[in-house]
Structure 1
Amino acid sequence: MKTRIYYDDTDAGGVVYHANYLKLCERSRSDLFFEKGKSPAIDGGHFVVRHLEADYFKPAKLGDLVEVTHELIAMKNASLILKQFIFKGEEKLFSMTSTLAYVKEGKPCKIDEETKAFFASVFKESE
């Protein structure tokens, strides 16, 4: 997903506020579904972040055009591990590894085969 950095993404100095990198990644994950005509809310459930690790390399600034990319690390029964990157051109600005748990009514639930196949197809195309 390519996106422009707008004023509301930045702090007073025109640099992207640290928490907004997480928002850019979240939007990009949702766009994976929307671009295929699907919703990230699946069969009464949805994915929530269970764990994440973030690395900030260089700042994005007001007006920058950035791209969020994805790499599927692992698919488990009720969760997946996803690595996301934010680039400005060829320059890596940010990376995040997150464990996303699939939940229904607040409890972990098995990811259905159709959703697993969807993720496999999305990430196969991203390579």
Structure 2
Amino acid sequence: MSAHRFRVRVYYEDTDMAGIVYYANYLRYIERARSDWVREIGIDQLAMKAEGVVFAVRRVEADYLQPARFDDELEVETTLSKLTPARMIMAQIVRRTDDVLFRAEVTIACIGPGGKPARLPAELRLLPLTPTS
């Protein structure tokens, strides 16, 4: 499976007093990209929720490499790097053209009623992993 790409424009409200993107907003950007990817592969999260199953971020490891600034156009690249029956690990990179600004490895757990682990939807369990370079 190839990488999913999602575009984000930096708005004034995304920046801090120094005029750069506030660090927590990168987490918002990568969340939007993951949600878009899930929708694109045909998973209906509202239907999952109605069945008592949801996705939850279990772990994020992030590296802030360079600042983004007001009006930058960014691209979030998302790749699936590991799958287990109830968990997926995704690599996410935020770029401004060729410059890598932010990298994260995000572990997503699938949880069911009572917060117990649940199986990932079949559409996800059958996806090929993205080769790492």
Which interval holds the TM-score relative to the shorter structure?
Answer: 0.7 to 0.9
TM-score where L is the length of structure 2? 0.82
Conserved in 1, the CA contact under 8 Å of 2:86 and 2:119?
Answer: yes
Report the alpha carbon displacement of residue 3 of structure 1 after superposing the two structures with TM.
1.2
Structure 2 counterpart of 1:10, which letter? Answer: T
2:82 aligned with 1:74: yes
Segment of structure 1 superposing worse, 51-60 or 4-13? 4-13
**Could you report, residue by residue, the CA deviation over 1:4-58 in whole angstroms, capped at 9, with x for unpaired residues?**
0011211122211011101100011001133455433434312111111000100
2:45 aligned with 1:27: no
Match of 1:116 in 2: 125
Q: Of residues 81, 84, 87 in structure 1, which corresponds to 2:92?
A: 84
Conserved in 1, the CA contact under 8 Å of 2:43 and 2:123?
Answer: no
C-alpha change, 1:36 and 1:82, in structure 2 (3 Å) is: closer
Structure 1: gaps (5+ residues): none
How many pairs are equivalent?
Answer: 121
SS at match of 1:80: strand
Which structure has the higher relative contact order (CA within 8 Å, separation 6+)? 2
Q: Structure 1 CA distance, aligned partners of 2:42 and 2:83?
A: 22
Q: Structure 1 CA distance, aligned partners of 2:125 and 2:45?
A: 13
Report the alpha carbon displacement of residue 71 of structure 1 after superposing the two structures with TM.
1.7
2:39 aligned with 1:60: no
- Aligned-residue CA RMSD (Å): 1.8
Q: Of residues 83, 102, 105 in structure 2, which corresponds to 1:97?
A: 105
SS at match of 1:108: coil
Conserved in 1, the CA contact under 8 Å of 2:85 and 2:125?
Answer: no
Identity, % of aligned pairs? 37
Q: Structure 2 CA distance, aligned partners of 1:57 and 1:9?
A: 17
TM-score where L is the length of structure 1? 0.85
Query: Which consecutive aligned stretches of 4+ in structure 1 deviate over 6 angstroms post-superposition?
Result: none
**Could you report, residue by residue, the CA deviation over 1:67-86 in whole angstroms, capped at 9, with x for unpaired residues?**
00012111001001111000
Structure 2 counterpart of 1:109, which letter? Answer: A
